[in-house]
Structure 1
Amino acid sequence: MKQRNAELIAVQALLWMAGEPEMMAGFLGASGASATDLRGRAQDPEFLGFLLDYLLMDDRAVEQFCQTIDLPPDQLAQVRAALPGGEAVHWT
């Protein structure tokens, strides 16, 4: 997965979350961002990575989002890995 494709999918996730008030409120609370911040940071790959981190914590939300864009749910982790901070951590 190329970073640019991952960014486009993450922006789709942001738009999807905007239609899910409870999820968006949770994300705003967790990120400390405001609704105004979303507009300015929607193209920031690091911010989009954090958004996907938040989304990936909820299996039901992952399934619902992925269904809307016709993406196999197991591929969302690959999308996240293509953004900054998504590298696998090796503790050995």
Structure 2
Amino acid sequence: MTSLSHRDAAEALALQALSFLAREPERIARFLANAGIGPEQLRQAAGEPGFLGAVLDHLMSDEPLLLMFSEDAGLNPTAVAAARRVLMDDAEG
């Protein structure tokens, strides 16, 4: 089990990543297509366990996108992988 502060930080990073995707219609459309949801389902899906981890999975599956996000957020790309691990560990219980 991870500490609450690590989980909070991981969730914040994932929400920042989702915001990054949402700023460009093509980026968010690709994520939604990969997730199998429509824009109208995004808010509901965001509350589902594993959703924020899926956002980070999406970034990690596309290295140029991961690097763009990392630069935009001023983060090392390894921070995305670390946040994903925290979220997935929590989701697995």
How high is the TM-score relative to the length of structure 1? 0.80
Matched, 1:30 2:27: no
Give the match for residue 16 of structure 2. Answer: 12
Contact 1:45 1:83 in 2 (8 A): no
Which portions of structure 1, spanning 4 or more consecutive aligned residues, are displaced by more than 3 angstroms?
A: none
Q: Look up the equivalent residue of 2:8 and give its one-letter code.
A: R
In the other structure, the counterpart of 1:2 is 6
Unaligned runs of 5+ in 2: none
What are the Cα deviations for residues 18-75 of structure 1, in whole angstroms up to 9, with x where unaligned?
A: 1122221111111111212222233445101011111111111111111111111122
Structure 1 gap segments, 5+ residues each: 88-92
Aligned-CA RMSD value: 2.1
Match of residue 52, structure 1, among 50, 56, 62:
56
Question: Which residue of 60, 69, 72 corresponds with 1:68?
Answer: 72
TM-score by length of 2: 0.80
* Relative contact order, higher structure (CA 8 A, sep 6+): 2
Structure 1 window deviating more from structure 2 (43-52 vs 13-22): it is: 43-52
How far apart are the structure 2 equivalents of 1:70 and 1:44?
A: 27
